[in-house]
Amino acid sequence: MVKAADRAKNPARSSVWLEKRATRGGGGPAGLDRDRIVAASIRMLDEEGLSKLSMRKLATELGVTAMSLYWYVDTKDDILEYAMDSVYGEIDLAAVDAAADWRDRIRLLALDYRRMLVRHGWMSPSAGQYLNIGPNAIAVGQKIHDTVAETGLSLDRRPSAMSAVFQFVYGYGTIESQFGRRAAEAGMSQDEFYVDSVNAFRDDPDLTEQVEGLKEILDERTSHDSLSVIWDRDFGYALDVLIAGIEVMVAREAEAPDGTRK
């Protein structure tokens, strides 16, 4: 077991997944174990949000004192890393295998990834902060990697294609989920919250002056469909763009193979 203070001294090894550690078993008086701790954290994170999770509250939820948790875990960050990897397990890799070709596979992966980010609003901020090399996260990465390989793109182009697609999904899911979180905090539906925000904008002379023209677009967008429809549609369109782009790059490589490419 590694104390938090020691962990900080060697940040290169600062992921739970890079420490060889014994899983400490849960036969104790309180019936605690790491799985129960992680499951409870996920529940609380989903309900209350990242900033509201504290060791003391989590412990209370489990009928235990804060310091008991430290028997199973070195730091609070560890709990978050475990929780994140557990959530990565929600991505249905079997369904991806069943898809017809790489285009559908990318769409499925992207959609599932996005859903995961939106369902668990604390994931986006956390995912940017930790290494994400737990077993489930790696399985997802591997699947993404294999899928991109199927496109026929040359080896040195694959990482950028992966980036283009999945960093987009990360960014999109982040915005979408933060928007949902804000709406929820304000006690409104997303549509109400959107209208409210646009109005706040319109009431501010400095802002409306600067973005003249933008307001009409905002209005137009929600006049026909609800926000959730728009989120889905925009996401689908963006994936169209990305897939079309990959196809073009593959075709260009076929025309001018290896090195002869300008």
Partner DNA sequence: AGAGCTCTTGTACGGTGTACGAGACCTGGT
Partner DNA sequence: ACCAGGTCTCGTACACCGTACAAGAGCTCT
How far out from the chain centre does Cα 186 lie?
A: 23
* 27 forms part of the interface with DNA (CB under 7 A): yes
d(CA 229, CA 150): 31
d(CA 183, CA 190): 6
- Segment contacting DNA by CB under 7 A, of 19-27, 117-125, 159-167, 185-193: 19-27
Residues 165-224 that bind its own copies (CB under 8 A): 166-172, 174-175, 178, 182, 185-186, 188, 193, 196-197, 200-201, 204, 206-207, 210-211, 214, 217, 220-221
The distance of closest approach from Cβ of residue 32 to its own copies in the complex, given in angstroms and rounded to an integer, is 24
* 5 forms part of the interface with DNA (CB under 7 A): yes
d(CA 94, CA 247): 25
Are 91 and 112 in contact by the 8 Å Cβ rule? The answer is yes
User: From its own copies, DNA, none, which one binds at residue 250 (CB under 5 to 8 Å depending on kind)?
Assistant: none
Residue 202 contacts by C-beta under 8 Å, 6 or more apart in sequence? 208, 215
Residues 157-176 that bind its own copies (CB under 8 A): 157, 159-161, 163-164, 166-172, 174-175
Supply 5's token pair: 């203070």
* 119 forms part of the interface with its own copies (CB under 8 A): no
User: How many residues does the structure list for the chain?
Assistant: 262
Site mask for its own copies (CB under 8 A), range 9-38, x = bound: -xxxxx--xx-x------------------
Q: Identify the CA nearest to 243 among candidates 111, 89, 118.
A: 111
Among residues 58 and 123, whose Cβ is nearest to its own copies? 123
